[in-house]
Amino acid sequence: MPRVEFESLPADARVWIFAAERQLMVAEQNRLLVEVDSFIAQWGAHDAPLIAGRDLRYEQFLFVAVDQKAVGPSGCSIDALVRQIKLLEQDLDIEFVNHAPIMFRQGDEIYRVSRTTFSDLIESENVSLETVVFDNTVTRLGDVRDGKWELRARESWHGDAFFKVFQS
């Protein structure tokens, strides 16, 4: 089944967020989207096509979502998606499948740092509870649309995980 427009997927669609280690150049974006579209066109679970779409945001975040009402993704189909993204990592020489780094925004700049570096930035007061972070663990498309993906650290798990140590 050909992919559907990402915006047409329902709020309860399952979403995966793959964050590139840096912003992609135009040629890399085009290559990524062509390959993902090709994958989605043949993607299925238990011999049934998945209704899926994709989106690329800030030239760095790849979203792939599936309408679970029609046919839900299986463990094998999810594994196939991750394998495809890992192949693209190798082809493009850009890491996508690593949820350990913290990604945050300061102004128009998006940063990707280790958890240790993020803690150091908190301690040096270069980031705060008001810093906009990206929660790439979100799994429901409606949560992305409702602002639970890109939000202030105080409103995400980042606030509890990183700032409690620095609060009196």
pLDDT on residue 72: 83
pLDDT on residue 168: 47
pLDDT per residue as tens, the chain (168 positions) = 557 999 999 999 999 999 999 999 999 999 999 999 999 999 988 888 899 999 999 999 999 999 998 788 888 999 999 999 999 999 999 999 998 999 999 999 999 999 999 999 999 999 999 999 999 999 999 999 999 999 999 999 999 999 976 554
One-character DSSP codes across 65-130: EE-TTTSPPPHHHHHHHHHHHHHHHHHHT---S---SEEEEETTEEEEE-HHHHHHHHHTTSS-TT
pLDDT on residue 164: 79
The token pair that represents 159 in the structure block: 């606030």
pLDDT on residue 47: 84
Q: Per-residue b/e over 91-119, b at no fewer than 16 CB within 10 Å?
A: ebebebeeeebbbbeeeeebebeeeeebb
pLDDT on residue 60: 97
Do 6 and 63 touch, CB atoms closer than 8 A? yes
Q: SS3 of 13, please?
A: coil
9, burial (CB in 10 Å: exposed 0-12, middle 13-18, buried 19+): buried
32, burial (CB in 10 Å: exposed 0-12, middle 13-18, buried 19+): buried
What is the pTM assigned to this prediction? 0.93
pLDDT on residue 66: 96
Residue 145's CB is within 10 A of a number of other CB atoms, namely 13
pLDDT on residue 2: 55
